[in-house]
Structure 1
């Protein structure tokens, strides 16, 4: 028994007790919030991501989780990870990266990396997780998309392309799995205050000739009518709902959590 299996068993009557979840990009930000939310409902967690070894060890201790640090930009590393961790009931494809630059200045290697991590990695984890889910007759695939899966912003060509791609990929696998008890959905947040968002501010400052405060108020939050960042915990709660019986007939959906951004 994995230590995370034992931890989940100790959760007793929690709604996801007995379920096992892999959350990619889960050592910080949205992924960590999702992992914590699923664990609170009894799921056993496998973390994946980057970070300080001691901090990751502390997270594993906190969540009773296993950890696999596979490089998701490498197909063979993903295959080795999926083989090592064994069967999962819940797959959350959350790992991502960002780069901001005009298209004519966009480094090709950045394009390749963003497409590999934000889109292609989800294909590889999904194709390897699906057989086990179909065999069990139950599974949940949740892809962290973005408001940028529904709308575009300047200087984010690779990210917008990847997120539009993940939305289409999700719809396709939802149709393929509809009769197997497996659902596939996107959660599309607006701007969430995470390291991914914070780290793109300097590039946006340079691309737009703005100050930090101008980027936050006139770029990041300008499109969100609530004028508030989405909380990571809200995304975690949505993931828990999508894993519940109440969401059995929600599949192929792209669920916006963007403060009204895409309502305009």
Structure 2
């Protein structure tokens, strides 16, 4: 298929895509903070959690995108609520402020650190300012968010809650031209385990690792990888991205959001320090 005929748009989110779980903590008194909530996986997760009756506070630098997420929650007639807070995740004061805003909405129990970005370049050519930005958003910010949120979760009547980090197959192995992303995702594994170690069993830490998800970020990555390697976008998808996978299709954002819903639920009370690896066979079937 010629590149100009390729449909690289993210799939439209519908209510039927979302997992719904009957859970004692899934109500409007419980608050979930979701970073990167203006688009992609973050938006889908915010909508999914609101659709499960939670009060959701979404953090993102894209205020217009947050408004769009709120519109989707309203359109879905979700049982919960959504409040968008424009947030610069590289600013500690902003991170502290959005955590406080979430805590003011009810019992802050859940945090989904989803915000991310990508830059394609070799180590030798990687701009340090891009390296610093990626690590700030995808590793330092989740640490700061956890630091600010943990006291609020521990202040609930039973200390029950969870902090979830968006990892990746690139948190399990490395490929070329993504050194900052890979470093950040490997670092999140350690942070997730540290949260679990300090949570005393009731405050859990877990991560979610998936392969390629058709989001605006991924569309940009396909285009960047094609330019970096001098191949077509179709070749990037079929050979670079899906070549090693056993499941020959990209995930939809809703499928990832559902993993956060399950991970936050009481059904996942033994998921602590571990990783939900839904990768289509990338990691353990290498060839």
Task: Give the TM-score normalised by structure 2.
Answer: 0.83
Which of the numbers 13, 29, 41 marks the counterpart of 2:40?
A: 29
Q: Partners in 2 of 1:213 and 1:50 — Cα distance?
A: 31
Q: Which residue of 2 aligns with 1:60?
A: 70
The question of whether the paired residues in 1 share the 8 Å contact of 2:39 and 2:69 is answered with: no
Q: Partners in 1 of 2:255 and 2:49 — Cα distance?
A: 12
Structure with the higher helix share, 1 or 2: 1
The question of whether the paired residues in 2 share the 8 Å contact of 1:230 and 1:257 is answered with: no
Q: How does 1:213-232 map to 2 (within 5 A)?
A: 213-232=234-253
Which runs of 5 or more residues in structure 2 are unaligned?
1-20, 74-80
Which of the numbers 140, 146, 149 marks the counterpart of 1:129?
A: 149
Cα deviation for residue 244 of structure 1 reads 1.4
Q: Which residue of 2 aligns with 1:141?
A: 163
Q: Partners in 2 of 1:39 and 1:140 — Cα distance?
A: 16
The question of whether the paired residues in 1 share the 8 Å contact of 2:115 and 2:138 is answered with: yes
Which runs of 5 or more residues in structure 1 are unaligned?
1-12
Task: Give the TM-score normalised by structure 1.
Answer: 0.90
Q: Which residue of 2 aligns with 1:82?
A: 99
Q: Partners in 1 of 2:95 and 2:265 — Cα distance?
A: 27
Segments ≥4 residues shifted beyond 4 Å: none
Q: Which residue of 2 aligns with 1:178?
A: 200
Cα deviation for residue 107 of structure 1 reads 0.6
Q: Partners in 2 of 1:112 and 1:199 — Cα distance?
A: 20
- Greater alpha carbon shift after TM alignment, 59-68 vs 157-166: 59-68
Q: Which residue of 1 aligns with 2:129?
A: 109
The 1:52/1:20 distance shift into structure 2, 3 A limit, reads: closer
SS in structure 1 at match of 2:155: helix
Q: Deviations over 1:45-81 (max 9, x none)?
A: 111224462x532422442311111100112221222
How large is the Cα RMSD of the aligned pairs?
Answer: 1.6
SS in structure 2 at match of 1:56: helix
Cα deviation for residue 186 of structure 1 reads 0.3
Aligned residues: 250
Cα deviation for residue 217 of structure 1 reads 0.9
